[in-house]
Amino acid sequence: MNILICGSSGFIGTHLVKLLADNGHKITGLDLNMPRSYVGLADFCQGNILNKTDVHAALRGANCVINLAARHRDSGISRREYFETNVTGSKQLLDCVREARIDKYIFFSSVAVYGNRSEKCDENSVPRPTSHYGASKLAAEKVTRQLAQENSRNSVVIIRPALVFGPGNTANMYSLIRQIDRGQFFHFGSGEAVKSLCYVENLTEATNFCLERIAPGVGTFNYVDKEDLKISETVSIISDSLNKKNPSVHFPLWLGLAIGRIFEFASKLTGQAPVVSAARVKKLATSTRFGAQLIRNRGFEPQYTLEEGLKTMVNWYRKQLYRRPGLAEQFLEISQTLPGKTIVPEAIPVVRLRTPVEITEYMPKPALKNLERTAK
């Protein structure tokens, strides 16, 4: 099958591209951002789902579309921005799908459509979003369903994942792991809140499962890995995987919310994303339990447990520490600028630093100058 994946350069998209390509599909990617890796991509178009010219160019030859493109951050995004990408973008994309006569479409929604509710929600629960993000996803589901209603041959699948984590993720779960690793995590509230999670490799396998069985009409599936973990259990698994002491200090929830609001205010002044937000603190301390039995009733069985997924992500996180992309190349480049001083390292240089440095950072100029002085 020739599949266009919109949002292919993102966290979930990158994993999905590889899996579907490994299963024999020809994958074209469409994203605002260039991919970090072209593994699995037969073609890639840099573009916006809001731009029909970009979409039509990417759709050539496709007979199935998977839409992952979305605005989804917890804070710093207005209601208008959520609806522009998640709803208007979906409408523009679906218009192009109709014009290209493509009859298979998978849309990634979110359990955010159910809102913040204490009771367990499944596919039979009435959506009641409490965030702009959740409201925009619900509105996008509505316009997506229209595709199946217009033609009896059209097949639509809507997937509502819970919080997704795994290697390559640099959002909420990554922040939690980093805070625990640095000794900066504190429990706000009791730590007894239950959080429904899903591991990215299980989610992509579930997507492939739906793709192989896609049929005319609309199918809506939650995706959550079971059994649910309490926050305290998640923190314990991460701490053990990091060989760190399990955080045991608890502070009142109101204090965490106040700290989050301070960071949000500072974020507005600096234009930088907040390290922590009141929304994130509240989300972490609020139970969110979702049922996902429908896809399992169809025969899907996840390969990994939540504990295995968390340990895999922690291992990935640890491998990123001390890594310097292109450090050997930078070292050789310096040596080539020094007449008569050819330096050929026998192995990739290892730079030992006092504190861990994440892969998103690059070698600071002072350190490169030190290498240059050493070479001289």
**267/201: higher pLDDT:** 201
What pLDDT is recorded for position 15? Answer: 97
Mean predicted lDDT score pLDDT of the chain: 85
Average pLDDT over residues 109-125: 92
pLDDT digits (tens, 9 = 90+) for 205-248: 999 999 999 999 999 999 999 999 999 999 999 999 999 999 88
Q: What is the DSSP string of 160-221?
A: EE-EEE-TT--SHHHHHHHHHHTT---EES-S--EEEEEEHHHHHHHHHHHHHT--SEEEEE
What pLDDT is recorded for position 74? Answer: 58
What pLDDT is recorded for position 75? Answer: 58
Q: Is 339 helix (H, G, I), strand (E, B) or coil?
A: coil
Average pLDDT over residues 271-291: 78
User: What Cα–Cα distance (Å) separates residue 174 from each residue in 11, 17, 131, 164, 289?
Assistant: 12, 22, 22, 11, 21
CATH 3.40.50.720 in the chain is located at 2-165+198-227+290-320
pLDDT digits (tens, 9 = 90+) for 2-54: 999 999 999 999 999 999 999 999 999 999 999 988 999 999 999 999 999 99
What pLDDT is recorded for position 61? Answer: 93
**2/321: higher pLDDT:** 2
Query: Residues near 42 by Cβ (< 8 Å), separated by ≥ 6?
Result: 21, 26, 27, 28
Q: Distance (Å, rounded) from C-alpha 135 to C-alpha 104?
A: 24
pLDDT digits (tens, 9 = 90+) for 80-89: 999 999 999 9
What pLDDT is recorded for position 212? Answer: 95
In this model, does residue 120 exceed pLDDT 50?
yes
Is residue 189 within 8 Å of 256, Cβ to Cβ?
yes
Q: Which CATH architecture has domain 2-165+198-227+290-320?
A: 3-Layer(aba) Sandwich (3.40)
pLDDT digits (tens, 9 = 90+) for 251-279: 888 888 888 888 888 888 887 777 677 87
**357/273: higher pLDDT:** 273
What pLDDT is recorded for position 250? Answer: 80
What pLDDT is recorded for position 163? Answer: 93
pTM: 0.81
* Least trusted range by pLDDT, from 171-180, 307-316, 320-329, 359-368: 359-368
Q: What is the DSSP string of 257-305?
A: HHHHHHHHHHHHHH-SPPSS-HHHHHHHHS-B-B--HHHHHTT---SS-
Average pLDDT over residues 178-199: 88
Catalytically active residues are 133
What pLDDT is recorded for position 280? Answer: 75
Residue 121 phi, psi dihedral angles, 5° rounding = -110, 135
